[in-house]
Chain A
């Protein structure tokens, strides 16, 4: 059952609209996620709410990570190594439900997203593989994989 690690990791990047939390992302997002984790403590939540920028500046995060958090751009946070279970500390501090926060990462409004879930959720059809989607399109536009 041993797998080739390079093939394994390459495959993880073939899921449309998904950032699998690989070691590479875990390293890149270490402080971003640890910052988010710190919001579990009431005194840290208070400091964060009092002045978000000032609180962020106490963490060794990149400027891009700080901007993404301030903008609540969760897709950007994922790109920069954030993990949703850690980012959940930020959106629960904002008073957002999991479903509402998750909907902001899609191209839908929250009511539209909620309705999609009630209707059975997003279909896996056409959402399984970036490469397969490209092949289906005739591979005309290799940059349009995502």
Chain B
């Protein structure tokens, strides 16, 4: 059976991709950011996941204003790196896992999450930057990817509660896939940042860290944070953190926090990164027996 073995959260600031592509990741500005990912890179080498369900948002790359899917799942064979206006990032193509993706799509729809199914698209920094942060610069990515794109741009975006519930449904979908696969789920974007208007540059270290605390604990109170609170406390683009809730929802009630990193700033943004492991209740019962 397929199983979700870990959840990873990470910001996906495009400038991090530039730093990797231009070899600047250990300079004075970027060094402290990338240092916080070293643990995870080593961990990924031993974990060797088969597939990553990568929750991200498209930034006017694959989707323009013509079609705005709230939740879209990539069921294609492969995805190319998008040209976001300055040429595509020089990263390998992202290989899909259509069997698992279609299984998740079908399961979610039967579970009353009406997904949009995408067979062809390019993937932008929202997806490729986390890949670079976790895997560096390999010739071929060491995992297959099921992209899950969330609308966090045009309001209303999905509620935190809906995102958490979608994560729970993804957990059930993965567990019912017959092939033995080691699956991770990543939630990307955030943390606090505002890229527009006279209030641009807003960051909120205290709030961000409270959010990290919540995701590390047994509580599910983060699912009830309102859009208004994200806007007030974390800037207009901090709303991307609802995507972390999909990851957290998929892990079940109890998690063990393996790694945590927070840094201000990267360009306009606060960087946050978490690695969580689900603590299965079955395992606990097994020990008790």
Task: Assess whether A140 is interfacial by the CB under 8 Å rule.
Answer: no
CB pair B85–A88 under 8 Å, yes or no, is yes
Please report whether the interface of chain B is mostly helix, strand, loop or mixed according to DSSP. Answer: loop
Bound state CA distance, A123 and B232, in angstroms? Answer: 11
- A74, A78, A93, A124 — most chain B CB neighbours (10 Å): A124
The answer to the question of B264 belonging to the interface, with a C-beta cut-off of 8 Å to chain A, is yes
* Interface assignment of B65: CB less than 8 Å from any CB of chain A: yes
Chain B nearest CB, measured from A93 CB (Å)? 6
Q: Which residue of A lies closest to B192 (CB)?
A: A121
Question: Which residues in B have their C-beta under 8 angstroms from that of A97?
Answer: 15, 267
Whether A40 lies near B270 (C-beta < 8 A) is no
Closest-by-CB residue of A relative to B236 is A18
Whether A34 lies near B65 (C-beta < 8 A) is yes
Q: How far is the CB of A119 from chain B (nearest CB, A)?
A: 9
- Given contacts A18-B231, A26-B154, A34-B65, whether A105 and B198 have CB atoms under 8 Å apart is yes
* Contact indicator B83/A15 (Cβ below 8 Å): no
Contacts A1-B159, A37-B65, A102-B268 hold; do A21 and B154 have CB atoms under 8 A apart? yes
Q: Name the residue on A nearest B156 (C-beta).
A: A8
B201 to chain A, nearest CB (A): 4
| Contact (A18, B159) CB under 8 Å given A11-B228, A121-B201 | no
Beta-carbon contact of A92 and B201 below 8 Å: no
At the interface, yes or no: B184 with Cβ under 8 Å from chain A? no
Residue in contact with B201 in the complex, picked from A83, A116, A146, CB distance below 8 Å: A116
Contacts of A86 in B (CB 8 A): 60, 64-65
Assembly CA distance A34 to B83 (angstroms): 16
Total interface residues on B, CB under 8 Å, equals 44
Nearest CB of chain A from residue B272's CB, rounded to whole Å: 14
- Are B60 and A98 touching (Cβ within 8 A)? no
Complex Cα distance, B14 from A99, in Å, reads: 11
Mask for A1-31, Cβ within 8 A of B = 1, else 0?
1000000100110111111111100100010
Selecting from B100-108, B137-145, B202-210, the interface stretch reads B202-210
> Shortest Cβ distance from B63 into chain A, in angstroms?
10
- Residues of A whose CB lies within 8 Å of any CB of B are 1, 8, 11-12, 14-23, 26, 30, 33-34, 36-37, 39-40, 74-75, 78, 83-86, 88-89, 92-93, 97-99, 102-103, 105-107, 113, 116-118, 120-124, 127-129, 146
